Amino acid sequence: MGVSFDKADGSLWLKFDVQPKADLTSDADRTAKLKDPGFGRVFTDHMAIVRYSADKGWHNARVESRANFPLDPATAVLHYAQEIFEGLKAYRRDDGGINLFRPDANAKRFRNSADRMAMAPVPEAVFIEAVEQLVHIDHKWIPGGEGSLYIRPFMIANEIFLGVKPSAEYIFAVIASPVGSYFKGGPAPVSIWVSENYTRAAVGGTGAVKCGGNYAASLRAQAEAIDHGCDQVVFLDAVEHRYIEELGGMNVFFVFDDGSLLTPPLGTILPGITRDSIIALAKEAGTTVREEAYSIDQWRADAASGKLKEAFACGTAAVISPIGKVCSAKGDFTINGGAAGEVAMGLRKKLVDIQYGRAADTHNWIKKVL
């Protein structure tokens, strides 16, 4: 089993060697684990892995039993953090088939991340095939209902060398983790803390890249948010410390009394695929969507005047999370009485229905795996 990829001249290039695990998780054990998998704690039986070296290029593409990587203490990623990752999901349709949502967009973003981090780019066809191969072999791990299979493609620099330079060797791998419904009883509004002591990204930095360093740098600010009784942190721009950028791991949208939406512009923030999908769905419905800078002071004023009707965060894991309360050293304020808004919940339903195959896919976002 496997798919070959050809170079422009038609010569054979790469084929995935699929080697199923000998001792698969039993049906009983898998069923028990799927009852309440949480998020990112339970993993499927297999992984996809492809290796890169400067002399061979991408090679040795395999799907095999999930296992540890043997890493030398001088492995480059451990010292210089050349690492990137992605996150996407596989959904079980009502007819039993499996959908992937916009894997091509993840593949493109992964390639862009690799370019910024001076890493060898994974061809988009290889990225998508690795994801599909893993979903094929581990599809029994996909929960029913509002559950899904969270898929984590990632790449690390694995050259054994202590020197500040781009690695000459890389490992690209894909693992998967079944997840239940992100919200029990429906999305509940979250509270967020405005970070004034920490900056997520600056112009020319890696803010638009999905690399581990961005998330590591946000953890201290996230801990500060929790210390203040909030669920999440929101970052301001690095230059003026006035303009909203994004949450620790999610993009943000604002809904106004004229029905329009606003979201911070790209550049120093992650180009979220959920963000892009929401913009497309809103515009398709005739909604004006602006990608403009929006200050924390304006947010506070618009919430007080009633001009701002809703605010919500978005990302792969939660899809859409309403924002009910904003806290800061200058005082707190609520949005929409602290309740989930109709616009946010309407957009969430539209997107989720497409992902699970319950609504028409007019944008060609769905790739059927089974």
Nearest partner of 261 among 237, 240, 246, 281, judged by Cα: 281
Q: What is the rounded average pLDDT of the residues 294-305?
A: 97
pLDDT of residue 14: 83
Domain edges within the chain: 4-179, 190-355
Residues 6+ positions from 132 with CB-CB distance below 8 Å: 100, 103, 367, 369
Position 145 scores a pLDDT of 87
Q: Lowest mean pLDDT: which of 6-15, 77-86, 130-139?
A: 6-15
State the fold for domain 4-179. Answer: D-amino Acid Aminotransferase; Chain A, domain 1 (3.30.470)
**Paired tokens of 363:** 């944008």
Flag whether pLDDT at 31 surpasses 90: yes
pTM of the prediction? 0.94
Instruction: Decide whether 4-179 matches 190-355 in CATH topology.
Output: no
Model pLDDT for residues 119-161, shown as the tens digit of each residue:
999 999 999 999 999 999 999 999 988 899 999 999 999 999 9
Rounded mean pLDDT, 249-255: 96
Question: Per residue in 57-71, pLDDT tens?
Answer: 999 999 999 999 999
Nearest to 90 by CA among 56, 120, 128, 35: 128
Burial class for 122, CB neighbours closer than 10 Å (0-12, 13-18, 19+): buried
Token couple for 123:
């061809």
Residue type (1 letter), 320? I
Which class would CATH give 190-355? alpha beta
* DSSP assigned state of 49: E
User: Residues 88-108: what's their mean pLDDT?
Assistant: 97
Please check whether residue 172 is in contact with residue 50, taking contact to mean a CB–CB distance below 8 angstroms: yes
What's the confidence (pLDDT) of residue 34?
95
Q: How confident is the model at residue 182 (pLDDT cuts 50, 70, 90)?
A: low
Count, residues in the chain: 370
Question: 3-class SS at 265?
Answer: coil
- Residue 184 banded pLDDT, cuts 50, 70, 90: low
Where would I find the H helices in 37-166? 77-80, 103-116, 124-137
